[in-house]
Amino acid sequence: MTTLTLHATGPVGPGEVWERYAVPARWPEWAPQITGVEVPVARLAAGVRGRVRAPLGVVLPFVVETVDEAARRWSWTVSVGPVRMHLLHWVTEGPDGGSTTGLRISGPAPLVVGYAPPARLAIGRLVRPLH
């Protein structure tokens, strides 16, 4: 098991960044590795199960483990076949305004290392204006 933590800081305020996380239908706006989300709710909630669609027709089931709206923090577990990857996300005020988001990825080393580049790109886009 390997754990990696990534951070990104940008000009978008923490309230808007949190909304981009909290509404799964918005994930493809900023996460290029997600082409769609199938989920039975409009907003994240603990215990919700769904599926993310990725490029090349890949579909990955997930379950939302925790959601703390006040702390702007949530976690989920994504299944890659029989293997699980746990992701913890959070949003805070940025040091000079805007916001900082963090992502802690835990799972088998090859998955964590392979997912880090697209995850880094996605969280960088998350904290910047969408065009």
Cα gap 36→71, rounded to integer Å: 26
Rounded (to 5) percent helix, strand, coil in the chain: 30, 45, 30
pLDDT at 81 > cutoff 90: no
What pLDDT shows up at residue 60?
96
pLDDT at 112 > cutoff 90: yes
What pLDDT shows up at residue 66?
98
- Domains along the chain with CATH numbers: 2-126 (3.30.530.20)
Higher local confidence (pLDDT), 96 or 19: 19
Token pair in block for residue 105: 């990825």
Q: What mean pLDDT is reported for the chain?
A: 96
What pLDDT shows up at residue 99?
98
What pLDDT shows up at residue 59?
96
Q: Is there a contact between 11 and 128 (Cβ–Cβ < 8 Å)?
A: yes
